[in-house]
A = this chain, B = another copy of it.
Amino acid sequence: MRQLEISRVFTLIEPGPVVLVATRDGAKNNVMTISWTMVLDFKPQFAIATGPWNYSFSALQKTRECVIAIPAVDLLDRVVGIGTCSGVDTDKFAKFTLTAMPGKFVKAPLIEECLANIECKVVDLIAKHSIVVLEAVAAHENPTRRERRTVHAVGDGTFIVDGRRLDRRKMMASKLPKGI
């Protein structure tokens, strides 16, 4: 895994891919699948929508940290599997043969199989709307991975795979943050 500049981290979340949220509560790693995420600024801070109905939420609340990992399309069946069982009674890292790697700033594990991993601290919990505000403190990407297409959940059990990329950098020059 290669370190990714913190100023570029928002570009992992902005396209809206399905992500994995890894947590570590005591000695126990856990991971959940979510697609309800949003960039809040270029620092970057993100919002995710989750609450007590997700087992991972108690670890988020208690440890105030997590890793957001970005899976590619070849992991889709594992991503869906992770999203349809619970850490209450399942060791998901074992069940889905995920490799936990140590982070630099958080105890939550990075996931080796993913395209990128973002180490995050919980900045705020907005209970009224079940929003968790995260700030990225470090990020790592796997530049050797061949399959780089992510997936977007529709919410009805179907997923849209990334297609081709269109370049509008010139048109958008005035709006892009410096160095991006």
Contact = CB atoms under 8 A, between A and B. Distances in A.
A161 B47 CA distance: 24
Interface string A139-174: 000000000010111111111111111111111111
Contacts of A40: 36, 49, 129-131
A128 interface: yes
B83 A172 contact: yes
A69 interface: no
A163 B166 contact: no
Given A16-B152, A126-B129, A163 B161 contact: yes
Interface stretch (A20-28, A73-81, A87-95, A106-114): A73-81
Question: DSSP class of A's interface residues: helix, strand, loop or mixed?
Answer: mixed
Given A131-B47, A172-B83, A175-B83, A166 B151 contact: yes
A17 interface: yes
A17 B160 CA distance: 11
Contact of A166 (B49, B128, B158): B158
Contact of A49 (B47, B76, B126, B156): B47
12 contacts: A10-B155, A11-B155, A15-B153, A37-B38, A38-B38, A40-B49, A45-B129, A76-B168, A129-B133, A156-B169, A157-B170, A163-B163
